[in-house]
Amino acid sequence: VRLEVFVMLGSDVSSLSTPAATAAAKGLSIVVPAYNEAASLAALHQRICDLAKVLRQRYGLGCEVVYVDDDSGDATHSIACTLPASSVDVQVISLSRNFGKEAVLMAGLDYARRGAVLFMDGDGQHPPALIEQLASHWIEGGYDVVYTAKAHRDNESLLRRLSVHGFYALINWGARQKIPEDAGDFRLLSPRAVAALRQLPERNRFLKGSASWIGFRQIRVDYEPAPRAHGVATFSLMRLLGLSIEGLTSFSMVPLRFASLLGVPLATAAFLFGLWISWEVWTAGKQVPGNPSLVVGLMTIGGVQLIMIGIVGEYIGKILSELKARPIYFVAEHSEKQFAVEGRVS
């Protein structure tokens, strides 16, 4: 008897690659992260419900909204619980503490029950009017990942624009699947893209990266972000820096290569310098004035070494947190409301 041991090293999600129009029958889950968004939720919900009606009429698409409350300090949770299930199903999830947006998006992805998933901020910056266009790219165009990008960055400082540009240059250096610059978290994923994303096992999340990494048919839609409906953005410079390091260490090994890239020219220069000194001593009998050059050399190499140890440390920290394998979030409360279809006799 021949025993065949068959191990699948990849993952096949092709069974979900039905024509998008058929897949649409499973509907769309809209995931809304909300951290202290009490003031804007009601208006946002109203607009989503209006849109859901349009989508139902046009494509027969049923929608669900998943509000994920990231342990807000205000009334976000209680307000979300009062939102009516008119033309959409509503789920409200409350996390046990503030886990940050990436974890919140993962929670939404896990709890989404419909086929496709759309991520959309709770502060009104992602225009709901665009949902229809995103859905049509998926249903009519057959795209799997419909992502949005800021049409321009004219209102941002030069420093910020430069650092964003540098960040993407670094993360995409030598990468096969480039992460699109400026892509935001406002994005629609088809059922098979959702299935693919759910299979990524890592705990440290950088959704912009993963959603691009999975591949499939992707399309970009430019949009003009609306001003925040109220309050101020929670993403400070430090938080953005943290997210950038998170993204870099998740998706790029380039920083580790810096050690060799810097080390080789430095060592070469030092070697040549040594040769030159010896030459001077042998031929002219000159004593090279040593102290300044020594100090400069030591400090350069010392600085480079410290930076490289820091970078290696980032990656080791990441290995540790993957190794601990802790859950990405804890859900403290979960409630849901089903939409009763009009005209249905109960």
Binding of ligand UDP by 37 (CB under 6 A): yes
Q: How far apart are the C-alpha atoms of 236 and 240, rounded to whole Å?
A: 6
By C-beta, is 229 or 277 nearer to Mg ion?
Answer: 229
- The residues, any chain, with a CB within 8 Å of residue 335's CB and separated by 6 or more, are 81, 91, 92
Binding of Mg ion by 18 (CB under 5 A): no
**Binding piece for Mg ion, criterion CB under 5 A, among 15-23, 28-36, 125-133, 184-192:** 125-133
Tell me the torsion sign for CA atoms 78, 126, 159, 105: positive
Q: How far apart are the C-alpha atoms of 60 and 56, rounded to whole Å?
A: 4
**Binding piece for ligand UDP, criterion CB under 6 A, among 115-123, 173-181, 206-214, 338-346:** 115-123
By C-beta, is 34 or 130 nearer to ligand UDP?
Answer: 34
Burial class (CB in 10 A: 0-12, 13-18, 19+), 103: buried
CB of 255 to ligand UDP, least distance (A): 24
Among 64, 89, 102, 123, binds Mg ion (CB under 5 A): 123
CB of 124 to ligand UDP, least distance (A): 9
Check residue 170 and give left, alpha or beta (phi > 0: left; psi -120 to 50: alpha). Answer: alpha
Among 51, 52, 104, 311, binds ligand UDP (CB under 6 A): 104
Binding of ligand UDP by 124 (CB under 6 A): no
Strands 145-150 and 88-95: unpaired
Among 25, 162, 169, 233, binds ligand UDP (CB under 6 A): 233
Q: With CB under 6 A as the rule, give the number of residues binding ligand UDP.
A: 16
Binding of Mg ion by 240 (CB under 5 A): no
Least Cα distance to 42 among 72, 81, 10, 3 occurs for 81
CB hemisphere CA count around 82 (13 angstroms):
8
Q: Measure CA 174 to chain center.
A: 20
**Binding piece for ligand UDP, criterion CB under 6 A, among 120-128, 207-215, 264-272, 300-308:** 120-128
Among 18, 46, 125, 163, binds Mg ion (CB under 5 A): 125
Among 33, 209, 247, 255, binds ligand UDP (CB under 6 A): 33
Residues 156-215 that bind ligand UDP (CB under 6 A): none
Binding of ligand UDP by 102 (CB under 6 A): no
Among Mg ion, ligand UDP, none, the one that 104 touches (CB under a kind-dependent 5 to 8 A) is: ligand UDP
- 3-class SS of residue 122: coil
Angstrom CA distances, 90 to 87, 111, 112, 203, stand at 10, 11, 10, 27
Q: How far apart are the C-alpha atoms of 331 and 329, rounded to whole Å?
A: 7
Q: List residues near ligand UDP by CB under 6 A.
A: 33-35, 37, 70, 98, 100-101, 104, 121-123, 125, 233-235
Residues that bind Mg ion (CB under 5 A): 123, 125, 233
